[in-house]
Amino acid sequence: MSTILMTGASRGLGRHAAEHLLRHHPDRHLLVLNRAPGLAAELAARTGNRNVSEITCDLASFADIRRAAAEVDRPLTGFVGNAGLQVQSTRARTADGVEMTFGVNVLAYHLLLNLLLPRFTAPARILVVGSDVHDPRTNSLGLVPPPRWTDPRELARPREGTARDGRRAYATSKLGVLYLVHALARRLPAGVDAYTYNPGLVPGTSLARDAGPVGRAVFQAVGRVLSATPAATRPAEAGRLLAEAAAGPRPGDSGSYVSKGRVVPSSAESYDERREEELWAVADELCGLAEARRRAG
């Protein structure tokens, strides 16, 4: 039985995606990484499919990521990196002293995927969830400012900032996801594909859970308005599309940007091989992978 490993399966569109996989792809085993134990039992009870297991993992800790990756003891044919966060500042830091949004949304996946690479057996598919807020053309009603890319070492450094700076850091991290996926796709063996997946505008997610009462109220109000527009995707539908991108027909060429089930171009800024390779090298250093690569090479 082939195995798909998934992060961010406890709530929102990720929960819908996990349940869809268990209900509609019973030939797959689902391995979930979650901060607290008990999710696998919940999913099994909810879907009636017991082909689900779990490993606890805090993506805000490199040590915990390494420990969790070492516990993966089966071949993988799929990966869905859905867990992500939006912090209402740029001061919060991970256990390793990295700015929280960049650390979890970008560096955690760089480390986790590199540690898991020997486990992937072709044909295999890797999806990391991005967002259309990486594109300055996206209309987010001004709530999420466009990304502002700079030296990745600076993006990884906690710094003083406002709630708006925190939201910009989120958009910038999603641009970073595209850069890492492009760099990863160039390095994967034949038969192992990597994609950035954009679920679109999904009102009702918990991205604003770290905002204050006023901020949460604003996001909820805007979400209610946007839910009535054709631009919005309901969490259940977004989860279904994510699950089918992971386990259904091959979406397209490796490295593609899959938006709501269709391959489309991402922003012009997201295609920059120099930035992609610089981010890959800096991520190696920050995640402690550079020395291992030097020894292996």
Q: What is the pLDDT of residue 292?
A: 78
Q: Specify the long-range contacts of residues 207-215, CB closer than 8 Å, at least 24 apart.
A: 207/84, 207/85, 207/86, 207/170, 208/86, 208/88, 210/85, 210/86, 210/87, 210/88, 211/88, 211/163, 212/88, 212/163, 215/88, 215/163
Q: What is the pLDDT of residue 224?
A: 52
Q: Which CATH superfamily is domain 2-290 in?
A: NAD(P)-binding Rossmann-like Domain (3.40.50.720)
- Domain spans of the chain, in order of start: 2-290
Count of beta carbons in the 10 Å neighbourhood of residue 294: 9
43: nearest Cα among 31, 35, 61: 31
Q: What is the pLDDT of residue 11?
A: 95
Chain centre to alpha carbon of residue 137: 21
Contact in structure between 184 and 109 (CB atoms under 8 Å): no
Give the pairing type, strands 257-259 and 262-264.
antiparallel
Q: Where do we find the tokens 């970073």?
A: 176
Give average pLDDT by consecutive 10-residue segment, the chain, 297 residues: 96 97 97 97 98 98 98 98 94 98 98 98 98 86 88 98 94 98 98 97 61 53 51 86 98 97 97 98 96 75
Three-class secondary structure of residue 221 per DSSP: helix
